[in-house]
Structure formats: structure tokens, C-alpha cells
Amino acid sequence: MAKPLIGRDLIAQLPKSDLHLHLDGSLRLGTLIELANERGVKLPSRTPEGLLELVFKRAYRNLPEYLKGFEFTVACLQDAESLERAAYELAHDCRAENVFYVEVRFAPQLHVRGDFRVRDVLRAVCRGLERAKREINAAPAVKAGAVPRFEAGVIVCALRFFVPAFSEHYRAYFEALPTAPADEIYALASLELARAAVAAAEQDGLPVVGFDLAGQERGFPAKDHQAAYQLAHEHFLGKTVHAGEDYGPESIFQAITDCHADRIGHGTWLFSRKHVRDKSIADKARYVEKLVRFVAERRITLEVCLTSNQQTIPELRGDLKKHPFGRMREARCSVTLCTDNRLVSRTTMTDEVEKAVGAFGLEPRALKDVLIYGFKRSFFPGSPRQERDWVRSVLNCMEDVFLKAGLDVRTGRRPG
């Protein structure tokens, strides 16, 4: 049997990024157990094998079951020490497989307790990332310029929907506003979070680079969070929105038009006419066609998470080729591969890229383009000149890795 042009060993060596990476979904399993023991958090099992069988599965019946595991991880991340540790370990885990850039996202309001406020939560996570960065970038190869620097940013997540039981912070909203409609409470919470994110970036100097909206799409429109996104937009934070994962093309359109989205988390149903539910849209095919063109022309990057989509969308499990990633590329959309949740999805960036190469037949040049989009479309926490120099160093490294494997990224063939 002929050796595949792009094998797992090569993929592991290639520089990668991860722009859609949830902190609370990416703990080390051993760390989760240790933190649970220390903090009195009850888990369904106290062994890694038991948790993998009962909670962090290979496949889930639906998105709510997939999200169940976050109850346990969030419960273990309720203080500065645990958050700093989780961020620190995550950075090292990513760099160990040649992921040179991560944007770690999470919902700080889930971690607020007493005097431990949103900006304190952000400081703790950033301390962990910065400590890991210092250690990683102190390596001789990095200092000599032979290997790119490791960089990281933080994206804060607002929630489309929450209930008082989600956290002490969210409970306070309902107690303070007992007669307010729920959608107004969600909007107030996201606006407060946007203000905290801006203050953390501009006053505290933290690498808070973006704003996100996560949670159930159906019945909880992004438009409710328009004020928060407008504030983030006015202060030049990057904007991304979970959209088109649990709802159809209209959700993606709303994220772009009402929330100024620069990127879309997942975007899985971008092409799906059957998921267009707005009855005022008579010509669904035309609507989808125009939306796809809009996304492609404006380079609104789609953060594709293959494994987590397979786990929560039954029709993708048996045949990954049904995933719209291939159509996204054919439509000339800007796409990048991401893990979503390293623990909950039991995946790595190497796994995600390997799946894409196998299912969609990516040749070296195509793979290079997909990987480099992750760096070019990042919310890099530095000046434009610093970003250009850094992306150039990543590209040089990528081309060197391909060359050592005997591959010409211009033609996608082996020389000779």
C-alpha cells in the first residue's frame, strides 16, 4: 500500500492554531479528578476510565448531553488557582503538538463567586497563559528564531440563555430583577461582560482579544445581545458567534448583521435549506446562495470543529464527508479547523487535521491554506506589524516541515 502523502506524523509536526477552544471543555482528565477531590465536587466516577464511559463519550445523543460534562468541569474551576492551572496546562498541551497559537474562550460569569469578580477571573486565566508562554518561549530554538513563538489570547463568552442555578453571578441577576423578562436579563449580563472585557483589555492590559456568544440558538437570538456586541465593536475587540450549529442559516446571518461577527463558530448548517425556518423567506435556495456568497466575499472565517459536530449531529457520525467543510472550501470560504473541547470531544488539533485530510482529500497546498487561515484570521494580541512578522515565521516553519517531508506545497507533489 502506498504511503499517504500527508500522514499523522507530518500533521503533528506542522504548525497549527486553535481559534475555537473552550477552557472548561479542555481540562486534563487527571486535573479534573484532582480538583474535584480537593474542592469536594461530586463526580459520576473518580477514575479516568469511568468518566470517559459515563461523561466524556465518543458520541452523544444530542447537544444537551454533550454539554452535560461542563457541569463538572465548571464546578472545579471556581477560584483563581484552578483557573490559572487549567489555562497553564492547556497552553502546554497545545504547544506539545505544535499548536503555536490558541484563543482560549470561556464564560467568566460562570466562575464568579463572592469577591472573585469577572476581571479577577480573567486575570487568573491570563496569568496561566502568560506563565506558560514565558516557559515555552524561553526555549533556545525559539530564541534563535528556528521555531515560532507561542502566542495566546482570551475570548470571553456571553451566554444566550442561563438560569439562576448556572452560577452565583447569574442568580444575582434574577434576584435583582424579579419582574424583568428573561431576554432582558440575558442582554444585561452580556453587556456587563462586554464592559468587563473592554476594561480588562484596555485598563488591565490583559490579552483579551475577542467576544463570543455561546449556548442554545433556538429561541435565543443573537440580536438580544446587540448592545454588548456594539460595545465590543466600538472598542475593537474581535467578534465571533456560535451560530449555525443548533439552528439554520438565519442564525449565521443574524450573527453577521446584528453582532458584527468577524468569525462564526461552527456554521455547520450554512448550506442547509431545510434549516431555514423563517416563513418570510420564500426562496430558501436563493437565500442560502446569497448568504454563502456574503460569507465568502467578506472573509468571515468559519471555525470548523469536525469531531464535536460528529458527536452531536447523528447524520455526520457514519460519514464525515457529509460535513459541509468540503462545500465551504469549494465556495471559497475562509475556514479553519479547531478542537472545540479537547476533553469533552476527546480530540486534539492533530486529530482534527487528520480527519479533514482523510475525509476531504486535502493535498499539501490545500492543507497549508487551511492551516494558515487560522493564523491570519486570529484576533492576534499585538500590533499589525508584529502579527505580520509572526505569521511569516509560522509560514516559514510550515514550509520547512513540508520540505523535510519531501513535499512541494506549491504543486502538492513529491519532488522528482
Residues 96-107 have a mean pLDDT of 98
Is residue 86 within 8 Å of 5, Cβ to Cβ?
Answer: no
Residues 325-345 have a mean pLDDT of 97
d(CA 211, CA 342): 21
How much is the pTM? 0.95
Task: Tell me the pLDDT of the chain averaged across its residues.
Answer: 94
Q: What is the pLDDT of residue 19?
A: 98
Residues 9-25 have a mean pLDDT of 98
Residue 415 pLDDT > 80: no
Q: What is the pLDDT of residue 68?
A: 87
Q: How confident is the model at residue 416 (pLDDT cuts 50, 70, 90)?
A: very low
Residue 396 pLDDT > 90: yes
For residue 158, list its beta bridge partners.
213
Residues 252-261 have a mean pLDDT of 97
Query: How do the domains of the chain map onto residue ranges?
Result: 8-404
Q: What is the number of other CB atoms lying within 10 angstroms of the CB of residue 37?
A: 12
CATH code, 8-404: 3.20.20.140
Q: What percentage of the chain has pLDDT greater than the value 90?
A: 89
SS (H, E, C) the chain: CCCCCCCHHHHHHCCEEEEEEEHHHCCCHHHHHHHHHHHCCCCCCCCHHHHHHHCCCCCCCCHHHHHCCHHHHHHCCCCHHHHHHHHHHHHHHHHCCCEEEEEEEECHHHCCECCECHHHHHHHHHHHHHHHHHHHHCCHHHHCCCCCCCEEEEEEEEECCCCHHHCHHHHHHHHHCCCCCHHHHHHHHHHHHHHHHHHHHHCCCCCEEEEEEECCCCCCCHHHHHHHHHHHHHCCCEEEEEECCCCCHHHHHHHHHHHCCCEEEECCCCCCHHHCCCCCCCCHHHHHHHHHHHHHHCCCEEEECHHHHHHHCHHHHCCHHHCCHHHHHHCCCCEEECCECCCCCCCCHHHHHHHHHHHHCCCHHHHHHHHHHHHHCCCCCCCHHHHHHHHHHHHHHHHHHHHHCCCECCCCECCC
Q: Which sequence positions are flagged as catalytic?
A: 245
Closest CA to 118 of 145, 173, 156: 156
Q: What is the pLDDT of residue 410?
A: 65
